[in-house]
Amino acid sequence: MVFIKVTSIFLLILLGFASEKAGLTPRESSKYLSNIVVYISAPCAILHSMSEQELNRETAASLVIVCALFILLIAFSWFIAFLHTKLFRVESHDRGIYQNMIIFPNNGFMGMPISMAIYGSQGFFLMVAANIFAPPVMYTFGIWNMLRHGGVGAKFSPKQFINVPVIASFAGLAIFFFRIPLPDFLDSSISIAGDMMTPLCMMVIGIQLTQSSVGSIIKNFRLVTASFVKIILLPLLVFALLLPFGLIHGANGPLLDPLIIAIAVLNAMMPTAALTVALSEMYGCNVKLASEGAFLTTLFSIATIPLTAALVNHLLGI
């Protein structure tokens, strides 16, 4: 099931590649598809996801722990990404792309359905909880981190923090915490619009990849090492840091629920978020590099996600 899910996501990239080659979606169409994703589909997906979740006493403790772990994971990932760009002397204008590639996982498109496939409804809830603050972080810190190095024709402005996805994120948080119901017709509409996000993002990646060659991607040593850091080194480091908390028992059992540890590691092992490509396109950064990073990490993850998940489950006894 996990292999099938990852492969199906990867095939959507090939669909975008083929459509550009066939002349159905010319190169410039990726800009307009990215606008649809960022301004329409992604905000709808955020609102629908928030409206579907329930907050009660039983889930409150797990929610707080998982959200805290997500924020810590972002900070830890940024530290690892910073070390990578320094160690491999990445050019200044590409540092933000490389760092966002390592920092932000494709947890919405792949993490949620894969968590359901491996860990069931409880694992799915924890993955959703881990991503409650993902949209506002990506659309604020992610944009700032990408543009602060100058980008390719891009300039950072604090006004860029005020955008449709950020507004949708805070509206979604209000819906979640205050349990504001959405009318059925509205919820159904935003659900359908939100479902467009995955295929459109993947097609944008495919369209951009027509400007690259697999040979040049594989020969890009910095890109290959960043991919290794993203989908192998980072999840293993997260697992090593959290495992002791799952082995040490207190009066009420392990200090940290093994399932929470597994979800945190699964979150870390996801390939690069496809939205980083759409944002690179919108803000004039190196979208070709962002697309190559998303492509390469998604390709490698076909093998790494099932193997790493099996190892983590075995060691945690899940």
The residue-averaged pLDDT of 35-54 equals 81
Per the listing, tokens 């990852």 go with 6
CA distances from 285 to 20, 52, 144, 217 (A): 21, 34, 12, 18
113-135 confidence digits (pLDDT tens): 688 778 876 777 788 777 777 77
Q: Using the 8-state DSSP alphabet, how is residue 305 labeled? A: H
* Residue 200 counted as domain residue: yes
CB pairs under 8 A, 24+ apart, for 252-256?
256/65
Q: Say how many CA atoms lie within 13 Å of 175 toward its Cβ.
A: 20
| Average pLDDT taken over every residue of the chain | 83
Backbone angles phi, psi at 110, to 5 degrees: -115, -40
**CA distance linking residue 208 with residue 292, whole number of Å:** 8
Q: Give pLDDT, residue 165.
A: 72
Would 38 be classed as within a structural domain? yes
Task: Tell me which residue range forms the domain holding 15.
Answer: 2-19+29-316
> What is the rounded distance in angstroms from the CA atom of residue 143 to the CA atom of residue 111?
22
Question: Does residue 24 form part of some domain?
Answer: no
Is residue 87 in a domain?
yes
pLDDT at 149 over 80: no
Whether residue 274 is contained in a domain is answered as yes
Rounded distance between C-alpha atoms, residue 146 and residue 276, angstroms: 9
Percentage of the chain lying above the pLDDT 70 cut: 89
When divided into structural domains, the chain yields a total of: 1
Domain for residue 229, yes or no? yes
The 3-state DSSP class for residue 143 equals helix
Dist CA 60 CA 270 (whole Å): 25
Q: How confident is the model at residue 84, as a pLDDT?
A: 95
Query: Is the pLDDT assigned to residue 106 strictly greater than 60?
Result: yes
- pLDDT computed for residue 120 by the predictor: 76
For residue 2, what pLDDT band results from cuts at 50, 70 and 90?
low
Q: Can you give the CATH number for the domain in which 243 is found? A: 1.20.1530.20
Q: Tokens 């993850």 identify what position? A: 301
Q: What is the dihedral of CA 303, 304, 307, 313, to 10 degrees?
A: -140
CA dist., res. 187 & res. 52, Å (int): 9
**Which region among 58-72, 216-230, 238-252 has the lowest average model confidence (pLDDT)?**
58-72
**What's the rounded Cα separation, in Å, for the pair 306 and 230?**
15
| Cross-strand bridge partners of residue 105 | 272
Task: Identify the weakest region by mean pLDDT among 6-10, 159-163, 225-229.
Answer: 159-163
Decide if pLDDT at 303 tops 70.
yes
Coil, strand or helix at 272:
strand
Judge whether residue 210 has pLDDT over 90.
Answer: no
Span 59-100, pLDDT tens digits: 667 778 888 888 899 999 999 999 999 999 998 889 999 999
Say if 15 falls within a structural domain: yes
Q: How far apart are the first and last CA of the chain?
A: 17
